[in-house]
Chains A and B, each alone.
Chain A
């Protein structure tokens, strides 16, 4: 049996483990109070969905732009050439390139958090599948990272665009901010995420869609939210 640390044992006293919190703001306050890390901990949400991800039509995947961002600088690289290259630079991309960028990444450079590509670059970017794919960095039209509107994609990503997808056990994990955020800002971010998640409910799912929602910060106990709110 895993043993718990002192801080965790202290933190768990602050939360009622049996209660399902219906006041999001209150839940956020508790999460903030439980945080005892020396760094600015991230606040994360875990939502268990009533979907079977083994069926392709029940795969929940999407992205949401959080109104208050996630409090982290996102390093973006853009595969683009010509006009689009200029557009990307102006929009604040950290690195823009075409063949040179492909080569740089193929040589082992992976110092970025997100990759965006214009459709006309996909033939070249495709070659990086084995490098970017396993790290979840491969640009994909389905989540808006293969687009002609690179400026918007960069701005959204920088502003706090969070991608999520259901994992094997039917759970979505996503960050919604930092412990230093105000509780109301965290609550707004949370609501934005849940709104998108509900919109993505697959037509083929049966029974309850949102089975449980838990909010926690890095290394803290979880605070359970009343699922009937959704």
Chain B
């Protein structure tokens, strides 16, 4: 272990890999000093583990109904968080719901930033009227309230998990385009870009291979910070009945079904909300911490 850390801390790295890993290690050390960020990291890791091993963690099947066990309060034998109106174990449904949430978040986290990166780098690199047109389009999408646009899109596409992902992705790319454009403007006149161009590289190659990697860190930070928002939007769509459809276990949908028994059986709506809250908080804390580590401008503060 000690040889590994000395290798990582070597001020004169022998290879590119060693230098990169060393940088990563230093970042991790800085990250570890931030207790709130560590809590966020822990929550997100737990969520990932819970989703990966859902069948092992859950005590019951999330879909099978058992009407003799309806609406049992929390801490009744075998049901840690109680049961819902169909006698399904709420804890198990929350555990399986983590998969749905991660699925939505994962897909949005891949599609929206890639799209935003493409638009932003192209706009920033070419400048001129390309920039004008692309940024005007970005502004129009930014001008729309996200949830309302997502609602209108779901109205067209029809409710469902894939369409919810599409609607959220289509409404959340503009900030990434803005960030990517700003980063592109700072590097597009750099000498190393000129050097690549003189070697005969085309615009596509320059953007893909030399501009985009420079935009990645700031976009990744933005993505982590936005994850909580994506979770909330997805849950909101589910709550309105426009996202994931029953009997699938999705946290927003579970809250919506618990609404009917709010005053008598409070736990049905409360528990999945707590899950959303904790997970969003985790992503927010993690995002804050990552920003401090990856973004040198805010590291000093």
Specify whether A and B are partners. Answer: no
